[in-house]
């Protein structure tokens, strides 16, 4: 469950599915993952992106193996490396049946409209929003099923342009009752992906996976011109994140093997 949630944090289901199946077949427990080397873990993560998640998952497995038990409360789950509020809530809810709502964009939209009468959750404070969401889930006979139902509602019916005519809870929706008032748009311009640091880091890690070791010149040549002056800095950042190691005049994949 934790592996799936971490993989799904920033990667689409279609790409996660085969990687997840192979991952749990290879490492069916936290103890098994904890015993793997960092290089094995990074290689198994290939294609999923946001590689720091692999390091964090590995560290989380080591923490769980050291503790000898899998945490089942949101606060304890959030103390694991790489586990944020959403993942902690998703694991507590779906793995352990705790009435805590994992709030992603879709769920936030449904609850903002249905409970608070706003088009989206953007204008709502996080704490009161989560308290209301959890209270709503506690009133459900099956919190796990109720959370899944809200997710499905947000994905299929309560879309950014909602299909209120198909909605099973429209009779109690405050936003619909108010005439679906719009909220002001906040236009945001984002740089092209190839201009982002994430893109450069992904390219460099792919090169490390392919060759095992790279020099500063090789790293520079694999990047587009605007990233080249910072190639060494990007690799040093990968080292700080546990994704690479210095190796003489170059860098290599880490070969940690200690448990």
Contact 47, 206 (CB under 8 A): no
Task: Write out the residues near ligand SF4 by the rule CB under 6 A.
Answer: 110, 113-114, 157-158, 162, 164, 167, 169-170, 173, 175-176
- Going across the sheet that includes 213-215, the strands are 213-215, 250-252, 245-247
Give the nearer residue to ligand SF4 in terms of CB position, either 21 or 156: 156
SS3 (DSSP) at 50: coil
Q: In the complex, what is the shortest distance from the CB of residue 183 to ligand SF4, in angstroms, rounded to a whole number?
A: 13
* Torsion over CA: 191, 193, 195, 196 (sign): positive
Residue 161 tokens, joined: 């342009």
Q: In the complex, what is the shortest distance from the CB of residue 172 to ligand SF4, in angstroms, rounded to a whole number?
A: 8
What is d(CA 202, CA 82) in angstroms, rounded to the nearest whole number? Answer: 18
Give the nearer residue to ligand SF4 in terms of CB position, either 89 or 113: 113
Radius of gyration of the CA atoms of the chain, in A: 22
Q: Closest by alpha carbon to 167, among 159, 95, 179?
A: 159
Give the nearer residue to ligand SF4 in terms of CB position, either 48 or 121: 121
Active site residues: 5
Q: In the complex, what is the shortest distance from the CB of residue 117 to ligand SF4, in angstroms, rounded to a whole number?
A: 9
> Rounded to an integer, what is the distance from CA 258 to the centroid of its chain?
26
Q: In the complex, what is the shortest distance from the CB of residue 165 to ligand SF4, in angstroms, rounded to a whole number?
A: 9
> Rounded to an integer, what is the distance from CA 228 to the centroid of its chain?
29
Q: In the complex, what is the shortest distance from the CB of residue 133 to ligand SF4, in angstroms, rounded to a whole number?
A: 14
Residue 225 tokens, joined: 């011109």
Give the nearer residue to ligand SF4 in terms of CB position, either 109 or 227: 109
What is d(CA 243, CA 59) in angstroms, rounded to the nearest whole number? Answer: 12
Using CA atoms, how far residue 184 sits from 58, 122, 178, 180, 181, in Å, is 42, 11, 16, 13, 10
Q: How many residues are given for the chain?
A: 259
Give the nearer residue to ligand SF4 in terms of CB position, either 9 or 176: 176
């Amino acid at each position: 469950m934790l592996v799936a949630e971490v993989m799904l944090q920033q990667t689409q289901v279609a790409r996660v599915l085969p990687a997840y199946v192979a991952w749990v077949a290879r490492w069916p427990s936290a103890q098994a993952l904890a015993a793997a080397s960092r290089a094995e873990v990074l290689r198994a993560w290939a294609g999923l992106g946001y590689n720091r998640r692999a390091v964090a998952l590995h560290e989380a497995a080591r923490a769980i193996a050291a503790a000898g038990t899998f945490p089942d409360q949101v606060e304890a789950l959030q103390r694991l490396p790489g586990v944020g509020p959403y993942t902690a809530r998703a694991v507590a809810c779906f793995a352990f049946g705790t009435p805590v709502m994992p709030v992603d964009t879709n769920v936030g939209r449904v609850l903002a409209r249905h409970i608070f009468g706003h088009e989206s959750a953007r204008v709502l404070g996080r704490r009161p929003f989560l308290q209301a969401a959890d209270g709503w889930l506690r009133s459900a006979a099956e919190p796990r099923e109720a959370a899944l139902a809200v997710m499905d509602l947000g994905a299929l019916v309560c879309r950014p342009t909602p299909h209120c005519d198909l909605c099973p809870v429209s009779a109690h929706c405050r936003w619909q009752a108010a005439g679906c008032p719009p909220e002001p748009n906040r236009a945001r311009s984002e740089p092209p992906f190839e201009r982002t640091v994430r893109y450069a880091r992904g390219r460099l890690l792919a090169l490390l996976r392919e060759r095992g070791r790279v020099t500063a010149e090789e790293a520079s040549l694999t990047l587009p011109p605007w990233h080249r002056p910072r190639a060494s800095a990007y690799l040093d950042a990968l080292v700080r994140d546990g994704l690479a190691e210095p190796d003489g005049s170059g860098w290599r994949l880490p070969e940690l093997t200690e448990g």
